[in-house]
Amino acid sequence: MGLNSAPVLVDARSLCRIPPKKRAFLTGAYHDFGSSVVLFHDNRMAMEQLLSVIPTGFVRVNLKGEITFANEMACQILHLSLNELTHTYFQSTDFGQIGLDGKPMDPAALPLAIAMTELRPVKDVVHGITDPHTRELKWLSVSAAPELDEQGNLKSAVASFSDITDRIKKDQIYRKIIENSTDMICFHRPDGAYEYVNPAARRMLGYEAHELIGRSPYDLFHPQDAKRIREMSHIPVQEGRVETGIRYRIRRKDGHYIWLQTTSYPITDPAGNITGIQTISRDVGQDVQREQEILRARLLAEKASQAKSEFIANMSHDIRTPIHGILGLTEVLLDGCDDSQREMLEMVDRSAHNLLNIINDLLDVSRLEAGQVQLRYRWFSLASMAHSLKSLYYPEAKTKGLRFSLDVSGQCQGYYLGDESRLMQIIGNLISNAIRYTGEGSVHVEIHSSPSGSNHRVITVLVEDSGPGVPVAEQKRIFDRFVHLDMGPERSKGAGLGLSIAQLLLKEMDGEIFLESEPGNGSQFKIQVVLEHRESLPESEGSSEDPLGHISSVPLRLLLAEDAPENRILLNRFLERTSWELQFAEDGLQALDKVQSNDYDVILLDISMPELDGIQVAQELRRRFSLSERKLPPLIALTAYGTDEDFQRTRDAGFSLHLTKPFSKNKLIRAIASVLEGSGSEVYSRTTSS
């Protein structure tokens, strides 16, 4: 062992002998003895004791290659006794050495042979040997180094080795998995260049392995994807994070692009430094194609839905406009007619209102299903709402000879935060259906309020009738659109949308609707919704006084821009008993000219006018008044368009109030009073009730 040499230095991974002159290096793969450095003196007993306990095989060979020393672990690994090992040629083919490729190794390529011929250490060479007794294959990791005398001449060599059979078997299993995987598995250098590609990758891309090794995948990425992928993957890789679900197009050898979805895993050394990247990719071309088909179908559906919405909105506008004239002039004629005329005019009024309700229902259900309805929460009196409902539906029930009652519990006092008009619409639909389908008997409504946590109450509304009832099998279906049950002659009335709209609106309010009914015993609909409650409101939030008593006597000058002659006549009749001066413009250009030369207290603009529409006029007025010292008067939009989007358009254009046609005389006067009092920005009319 050259025991007359200098001391031996052992650290965590190597055994070193440093002769006084040549300082040849003796290397071996040893297990960690800690961070300390132990100095061994030239002592055979100490050296043999050390070599007997290390978990690594150790042998020395002479110049002939014969083993002259072996420790106990070497005997265990090679499955030979010390006597059997002594004078055996370790680098001979007796051990059946093979490489990782399974082929016999050239004796000259064995670690000890290299160390002795090239006089240099060799580290961690992996090769297999055949167990002389079991004939099983073992895998060793071998390191070797030459030993030189003081003159630098080779006198022996040493080798250390460990059994890594289990690790190699696991690696082989892993390799088989990789080689047989249908997914594209690649290993990359830290800069991204291919280092290994499995057969699936070669099949997918159409390249041989040598055509990809050393090449950057960015050379193959679609130009539209390369920059995005580089930005997406750079930071995760640098931070040592796994990046999943990266989709991109990559070019095959034949020039065609395929879609891949890739997960990348950083490979690190024990110190945490990134030494490479593993990627697993699969062909998602069919998935992408399906998603694109779904997207195209969705876009077509959205386009069709948009077309439907536009059709309904336009139809609504085109019908509301003449209905506005019918209802408005009917209201004017009802003021001062005799009884026989009143009966016929009231029939005209009811018919027009029924047609308007159908149009409103069609518009509402379309917008509700598209998620385009925005609830408008304001404080309101539940008791006052109940009074309005009773006033609205009592005459209709009386006309049919039905008993109608509406009871409100004492706990309903105070104010509730909710969309009063939509809640009235829900309850009104239920009452209207009950009256419509009840041939004789009664319709009874109850409204209750009960505590639900801090400052909230549950509003419960019951609508009961003595009508024909609903079979159990039909009770779910009646909430569908355009559904009429076979209930006699009343079946054909209405559009079959009332219950569908009620259910959709309650869903928007986080409320519920229930039905209890059986044929012959009538029906009971129950709705429940939770609303915030207050006993009273600050004076600023309370109801303002009725404007009709005083505002109509205040001298005002108004401008109405309206291209339809019948609407100009109607509004003139609506306001003829006030103290107001009403001037007219037949289009947007005339309106701008009149505002330029006159002062007005309120300007009413029809939205659909030739030359310049109401939106354009409002925008131009805002521009002009911003350049002068004059104050822009309140603007009221008059339109048959009544969607949330229409409301937002007029609000953005600078209107103080959006008044939807048809509207009554009282509603018009209240609207004018509202903008003069400065509260118009919070008013939005979509009903015809006065």
Q: What is the CATH number of the domain that holds 669?
A: 3.40.50.2300
Region at 119 (left for phi over 0; alpha for psi -120 to 50; beta for the rest): left
Per-residue confidence at 30, pLDDT binned at 50, 70, 90?
very low
Q: Is residue 554 part of a domain?
A: yes
What's the mean pLDDT when you consider all of the chain?
Answer: 82
**What is the rounded distance in angstroms from the CA atom of residue 367 to the CA atom of residue 316?**
13
Per-residue confidence at 454, pLDDT binned at 50, 70, 90?
confident
Q: Which residues pair with 459 in a beta bridge?
A: 449, 529
Query: Are 210 and 154 found together in one domain?
Result: no
Q: Where are the beta strands (DSSP E) in 313-427?
A: 378-381, 403-408, 415-418
Per-residue confidence at 7, pLDDT binned at 50, 70, 90?
very low
Query: Are 435 and 508 found together in one domain?
Result: yes
Residue 38 tokens read as: 């132990």
Query: Are 440 and 518 found together in one domain?
Result: yes
Mean pLDDT score, 220-237: 82
Query: Are 343 and 393 found together in one domain?
Result: no
pLDDT of amino acid 499: 87
Choose one of 227, 248, 283: the last residue of a domain: 283
pLDDT of amino acid 550: 64
Mean pLDDT score, 255-283: 90
Q: Is residue 453 part of a domain?
A: yes
pLDDT of amino acid 137: 87
Give every CB contact of residue 596 below 8 A, 6+ residues apart in sequence. 624
Query: Are 442 and 529 found together in one domain?
Result: yes
Amino acid residing at 331: E
Amino acid residing at 673: A
Contact between 236 and 242 under an 8 Å Cβ cutoff? The reply is yes
Classify residue 101 by its DSSP letter: T
Q: How far is CA 170 from CA 139, 164, 167, 173, 188, in A?
A: 12, 10, 5, 5, 21
Per-residue confidence at 415, pLDDT binned at 50, 70, 90?
very high
Per-residue confidence at 6, pLDDT binned at 50, 70, 90?
very low
Of 305 and 653, the one with more pLDDT: 653
Answer yes or no: is pLDDT of 27 > 50: no
Per-residue confidence at 589, pLDDT binned at 50, 70, 90?
very high
Contact between 265 and 277 under an 8 Å Cβ cutoff? The reply is yes
Answer yes or no: is pLDDT of 461 > 80: yes
Sheet holding 15-17, edge to edge: 15-17, 8-10, 38-40
Q: What percent of the chain has pLDDT over 90?
A: 40
Query: Are 522 and 636 found together in one domain?
Result: no
Of 92 and 526, the one with more pLDDT: 526
Q: How far is CA 18 from CA 5, 27, 120, 590, 642, in A?
A: 8, 11, 14, 108, 96
Q: Is residue 88 part of a domain?
A: yes
Query: Are 185 and 161 found together in one domain?
Result: no
**What is the rounded distance in angstroms from the CA atom of residue 288 to the CA atom of residue 247?**
9
Answer yes or no: is pLDDT of 269 > 70: yes
Query: Are 600 and 517 found together in one domain?
Result: no
Residue among 594, 646, 588, 575 at smallest CA distance from 614:
588
Answer yes or no: is pLDDT of 237 > 90: no
pLDDT of amino acid 272: 83
Q: Is residue 400 part of a domain?
A: yes
Give every CB contact of residue 432 below 8 A, 6+ residues apart in sequence. 393, 396, 494, 498
Answer yes or no: is pLDDT of 670 > 80: yes
Contact between 176 and 185 under an 8 Å Cβ cutoff? The reply is no
Give the chain's domain count: 5
pLDDT of amino acid 297: 95
pLDDT of amino acid 38: 37
Per-residue confidence at 37, pLDDT binned at 50, 70, 90?
very low
**What is the rounded distance in angstroms from the CA atom of residue 214 to the CA atom of residue 216?**
7
Q: Is residue 368 part of a domain?
A: no
Helices (H) and strands (E) in the chain, counts: 18, 26
pLDDT of amino acid 690: 37
Mean pLDDT score, 305-309: 77
Q: Is residue 629 part of a domain?
A: yes
Choose one of 525, 541, 557: the last residue of a domain: 541
Among the ranges given (124-128, 174-178, 215-219, 322-326), the one the predictor scored with the smallest mean pLDDT: 322-326
Residue among 519, 520, 526 at smallest CA distance from 471:
519
Query: Are 233 and 310 found together in one domain?
Result: no
pLDDT of amino acid 647: 87
Give every CB contact of residue 34 below 8 A, 6+ residues apart in sequence. 12
Q: How far is CA 218 from CA 186, 225, 229, 283, 309, in A?
A: 14, 9, 9, 17, 46
Cis before residue 662, ω within 30 degrees of 0? yes
665-676 vs 285-334: helix axis angle to the nearest 10? 110
pLDDT of amino acid 222: 94
pLDDT of amino acid 193: 93
Domain span at 185 = 181-283
Mean pLDDT score, 506-521: 92
Contact between 350 and 327 under an 8 Å Cβ cutoff? The reply is no
Q: Is residue 251 part of a domain?
A: yes
Give the pLDDT confidence of 281-290 residue by residue, as tens digits: 999 999 999 9
Residue among 178, 134, 138 at smallest CA distance from 162:
138
Among the ranges given (147-161, 479-493, 542-556), the one the predictor scored with the smallest mean pLDDT: 479-493
Query: Are 620 and 504 found together in one domain?
Result: no
Query: Are 384 and 476 found together in one domain?
Result: yes
Give the pLDDT confidence of 175-217 residue by residue, as tens digits: 888 999 999 999 999 888 999 999 999 999 999 999 999 999 9
**What is the rounded distance in angstroms from the CA atom of residue 383 to the CA atom of residue 447?**
9
Q: Is residue 358 part of a domain?
A: no
Choose one of 494, 510, 541: the last residue of a domain: 541
Q: How far is CA 144 from CA 57, 58, 141, 192, 238, in A?
A: 12, 10, 10, 34, 37
- What CATH code is carried by the domain that includes residue 249? 3.30.450.20
Amino acid residing at 391: S
Q: Which residues pair with 276 in a beta bridge?
A: 267
Of 26 and 400, the one with more pLDDT: 400
Query: Are 393 and 489 found together in one domain?
Result: yes
